[in-house]
Structure 1
Amino acid sequence: MNSADLGRRVGVPSTALFTDQYELTMVQAALKAGTADRHSVFEAFTRRLPEGRRYGVVAGTGRLLDAVENFHFDDEMLTFLRERNVVDGPTLAWLADFRFSGDVWGYPEGEVYFPGSPILRVEGSFAECVLLETVILSILNHDSAIAAAASRMSVAAGGRGLIEMGARRTHELSAVASARAAYVGGFDTTSDLAAGFRYNIPTVGTSAHAFTLLHDTERDAFRAQVDSLGRGTTLLVDTYDVAEAVRTAVEVAGTGLGAVRIDSGDLLLVAHRVRQQLDELGATGTKIVVTSDLDEYAIASLAAAPVNAYGVGTQLVTGSGQPTCSMVYKLVARAVSADPAEPLQPVAKKSLGAKSSVGGRKWAARRLDEYGVAEAEVIGTGPVPYGLADRQLLTELVRGGEVVAREPLDAARQRHIAARQGLPMSAMQLSKGEPVIPTEYV
C-alpha cells in the first residue's frame, strides 16, 4: 500500500489553532482547579438528522486522524497566545508540550449513522480531549454533510457517472475536502486537481465555453481540442446552436467522439434530441454528459433521459441545502482522577427542550431483520445484548495517541456502498421523511 493510496500527508501544518478560545480557557481553569487530568470520555453525535434526510454518512475520518496527529503548538502559535493574553504562563507551558495521548474510537468512514449514534468517542484526560472539540466537529460536520448529499445524488443517478465540479463554488480548502467527501458518498471523479493530488481521486476535465469563444469558429475550437486531447475527448456543444455543434463535433472527431457535454436548456428534451442526432450520425457510442446546477432531484428527473454522466457543483459542495449535520461533542463520562482504572461516572447535559443528552460511555450496534436488512440502531452503556456483539459499529482509530486505522479512500467508498445497500428500500427515497430506522437505547 503506497502513500498515494492513503493520501499525501507530508507538509501538513499544525491544526492546533483550529479551535475556539474557550477550549484553551477551560484548560487553564481546569489546570488551576486540579481537574484537568481527570479521565474523561467525550462523544460526537447528532440529536437529529437534517430535515427530511433518512440517514447520515460518516465522512472526514481520514482528515480527522491527520488533524489529531498534527495538533501541536509551535513557538509562533505560543507567542500569539501570549501576546493576546489568551491563557496564562503555566497553561502556555502545558500547551508547549501537548500531544494527544488518548484513544479514539468511531464509526468507520463511509458508514451510515442515525440520531444519537456515537459517531466518535474520544477518551483521555479532560484537557487533552476538550482541546480537540472544534477541529473534530468542523471536519465531521462539513464532510458528512457533503457525503450525505453525494450519497443521495448517487442513488438518484442509478449507476450513471457522477463528476464533482464544485471547486469554484466554495472556499478553496473546502473544495478539496468536498471532493474527498463526495468520492466517499459515491461520486466517481473530480475536476479539482488539488483533491486528485492529495487524495488520489480520479480527475477529469476538458474545456469551457471560453475555449470555444476564443476561436474564430466552433469548428476551429473543436479541431484544436481534438488535435490536443484526442477523439475520446468531451466537446461542449451548447455555446451557440446545439444541433449544429453536434453535427460539427462528429464531423471533426468522427463517430469515435468520446462524449458531448450539455450545460444549459431543458436538459431532458435536449438530451433526447442530441442522442437521436448522434445515433443518426453514426456516433452511437458517444456519451452525453449534462451539467447546469444539478441536485439530486434534478438528477432523478433525468432518469428517463439518455444521459451517461452528471456533473454537479454548487448543490453538492453546499450539502444540497444542508451544509452541516449539527453534530455536537459532549462530555459523557469522567472519573475523579487521571487513573484510567478509576470508575467512570456518567455525566450529561440536562437542558430543557431538545438539547439534553445521554450520559455514559456508549457502544452501538445495528440490529438486522431476518433478511439481513437493518431494522434498528441500538445504543447502550452496559453489556452488549446477545446477538449484537458481532454487529458493533465503533472501531479503534487511535490508541495511546498513535493512529492505528488509516486506510485507502476507496475502502471508505466501498464501505458506504455496502452500508447503504443494507438499509431498508425506503432509504433510497428522495422525498422527505423520518430516519429510515429507529434509534433504541438499552
Structure 2
Amino acid sequence: MVEAALRSGRAGRDCVFEVFGRRLPGERRYGVLAGTGRVLDAITAFRFGRAELDWLADERVVDDATLAFLADYRFTGQVEGYREGEVYVPGSPLLTVRGTFAEAVLLETIVLSVLNYDSAVATAAARMVAAADGHPIAEMGSRRANESAAVAAARAAYIAGFSATSNLEAGRTWGIPTMGTAAHAFTLLHDSEEEASRAQVAALGPGTTLLVDTYDVRQGVETAVRVAGTGLGGVRLDSGDLPALVREVRAQLDGLGATGTRITVTSDLDEHTIAALRGAPVDAFGVGTSVVTGSGSPAAGFVYKLVARRDGDDGEWMPVAKASTGKASIGGAKRAERLLRGGVAVAERIVVDDDRDGLPEAPTPADLTARALTVALMTDGEPDARWLGPAGVAAAREHRAAAVAELPAAALRLSRGEPALPTISV
C-alpha cells in the first residue's frame, strides 16, 4: 500500500485512522481497554533498521523509493483515545491516529496486535475480579502463553484488578506486585511431605503458603500445621471438588487452632468457577490459563479503519467509511463521552465531526452529566509521559476501578447479553 500510494502521489495525504470494535467478544456486557501504554512505546520505537531494510531489498518486497521512505520513517502525528483501563462498548473510538497515510497505515498491525490481546486479557480478568467479590486474585498464567505475551498478560490482568503476578519480569518492567507458589515437584523432591514442608518453612518462615494436596489433603493439612504451627500463613488447594473441599479444610484448620490460616485455591479457575465459590471459605484465588487466553475470547476483535482524509494540502476533511455487509463503519473523526445519571453510566455518546476543524459541543439533558472519554495520548510523535511505564500502569489500574464502579449492576452479570450501555451517535 505504501509503495502504491507513493507512486500515486497520495502517500502524504493527511488521514485519520480509528480503532474500534464492532461487537464485544463472547457477548459480554462491557470490555476493558488495556495495552495503550504499550502501544505508545511501540509507536515511539517503530523503526526500520539496516537488517530489516536489507531483507526487504533482497526479497524485492518494495521498490527503492519505498525503501528510502522506510529508512527515514518516524511517526510524527497525533494519537488520542480512551485512557488505558477505560470501559468500552461496541463502536467506542478507542484510539485515533492522525498523520499522513503512509506513516499511519504502517502502524495497523502493531497497534492491533497489542490492543487486541491486552484488552482480551483485561476484559476476562475484570470479570474474574467481579466474581471474586473483593477477594485477591493472583495471575499465574505464564506457562500458558509465549514469553512476551506472558508479561503483557500480567500487566493487563493487574490493570483489570488482579492483585499480583507470578511473572517476575512483569514485576521488574511494570512495577506489579509479585508472588510465587511451591509446585508439587517441590513436595515430590523430598522423601516425605513433612520434610518438604519443613524445608519451605525453614526458608520462608511460618507465614508461607504450603501446598497440601500432593497426596492426601487431610493429612497434608495436619502436617502443615504441625510443622509451621497455628501461625501458618496459608494452604493452597490445586485439585478436587473445591466447594466441598475448602469447607472441609477450613473446619480442619479451625479445629487445629489455625484460625488465621488462609486458603488459596487454583486448579484451572475462570470467572464462572470463581463465582461458584462465593460463600465458601476461600481467601484468595490463583488463575492461569483462563486469564492469559481471554477466558475463551483470546482477541478483542478490534479493527483499524481509515475514517477521514483531507482533500489537498489545505482542503476540507472528508469522512470516509466502509460499506461492506456486516462490516460497515461510521466515517468522520470522533470523540466520546459517557453519560451518567446520579453517578451511574447510562449511555456512550459519540460525537462525529465531518470537517475535523472543530468538534462541536453536544447538548446534555439536565438530568445527566457527561464525562469526557477521549484524551490526548501522543503529540507530534511524542507520547504523553503520564500514560507510560509503571506510573501509567498504576494510573490505568486506578482508572479501571473507577470506570467499572460507574456501570449499572446488570453489567456485572457473567451471562451472555447485550452491551451494558447503548451507543448514541451525534
Q: TM-score, normalised by structure 2?
A: 0.95
Partner residue, 1:415:
399
Say whether the 8 Å CA contact 2:140–2:287 is kept in structure 1.
Answer: yes
SS of 2:27 mapped into structure 1: coil
Looking at structure 1, the residues matched to 263 and 27 of structure 2 have their Cα atoms a distance apart, in angstroms, of 31
Partner residue, 1:243:
218
What code does the residue aligned with 1:402 have?
E
CA offsets 1:72-99 (integer angstroms, 9 cap, x no match): 1111110011111111001101110010
Partner residue, 1:347:
320
- Which of 199, 215, 238 lines up with 2:190 in the alignment? 215
Looking at structure 2, the residues matched to 285 and 45 of structure 1 have their Cα atoms a distance apart, in angstroms, of 47
CA offsets 1:206-238 (integer angstroms, 9 cap, x no match): 310000001011000000000001111010000
SS of 2:333 mapped into structure 1: coil
CA offsets 1:97-133 (integer angstroms, 9 cap, x no match): 0100000001000000011000000001010000000
1:389, distance to aligned residue in structure 2 (A): 9.1
Say whether the 8 Å CA contact 2:339–2:369 is kept in structure 1.
Answer: no
CA offsets 1:296-344 (integer angstroms, 9 cap, x no match): 000000011100111001111110011111100000000123x4x5321
CA offsets 1:376-398 (integer angstroms, 9 cap, x no match): 11112142312399522111000
1:368, distance to aligned residue in structure 2 (A): 1.1
Partner residue, 1:379:
350
Identity %: 58
- Are 2:412 and 1:428 equivalent residues in the alignment? yes
SS of 1:391 mapped into structure 2: strand
Partner residue, 1:15:
none
Say whether the 8 Å CA contact 1:364–1:380 is kept in structure 2.
Answer: yes
- Which of 161, 168, 186 lines up with 1:193 in the alignment? 168
Alignment of 1:27-426 (within 5 A): 27-337=2-312, 339=313, 342-352=315-325, 354-369=326-341, 371-382=342-353, 383-387=360-364, 391-404=371-384, 405-407=386-388, 408=391, 409-426=393-410
SS of 2:113 mapped into structure 1: helix
What code does the residue aligned with 1:363 have?
R
Looking at structure 2, the residues matched to 164 and 391 of structure 1 have their Cα atoms a distance apart, in angstroms, of 31
Which sits farther off after the overlay, 246-255 or 387-396? 387-396
Looking at structure 2, the residues matched to 175 and 154 of structure 1 have their Cα atoms a distance apart, in angstroms, of 19
1:52, distance to aligned residue in structure 2 (A): 2.2
Say whether the 8 Å CA contact 1:206–1:233 is kept in structure 2.
Answer: no
Looking at structure 1, the residues matched to 369 and 226 of structure 2 have their Cα atoms a distance apart, in angstroms, of 63
What code does the residue aligned with 2:318 have?
Q
What code does the residue aligned with 1:364 have?
A
1:431, distance to aligned residue in structure 2 (A): 1.1
Task: Provide structure 1 residue ranges, at least 5 long, that are not aligned to the other structure.
Answer: 1-25
Looking at structure 2, the residues matched to 270 and 147 of structure 1 have their Cα atoms a distance apart, in angstroms, of 30
SS of 1:104 mapped into structure 2: strand
Looking at structure 1, the residues matched to 97 and 184 of structure 2 have their Cα atoms a distance apart, in angstroms, of 49
Looking at structure 2, the residues matched to 342 and 278 of structure 1 have their Cα atoms a distance apart, in angstroms, of 75
Looking at structure 2, the residues matched to 422 and 63 of structure 1 have their Cα atoms a distance apart, in angstroms, of 26
Which sits farther off after the overlay, 189-198 or 37-46? 189-198
Say whether the 8 Å CA contact 1:288–1:306 is kept in structure 2.
Answer: yes
SS of 1:329 mapped into structure 2: strand
1:426, distance to aligned residue in structure 2 (A): 0.3
Say whether the 8 Å CA contact 1:64–1:139 is kept in structure 2.
Answer: yes
Task: Provide structure 2 residue ranges, at least 5 long, that are not aligned to the other structure.
Answer: 354-359
Aligned length: 413
Looking at structure 2, the residues matched to 159 and 373 of structure 1 have their Cα atoms a distance apart, in angstroms, of 20
What code does the residue aligned with 1:384 have?
E
Say whether the 8 Å CA contact 2:237–2:264 is kept in structure 1.
Answer: yes
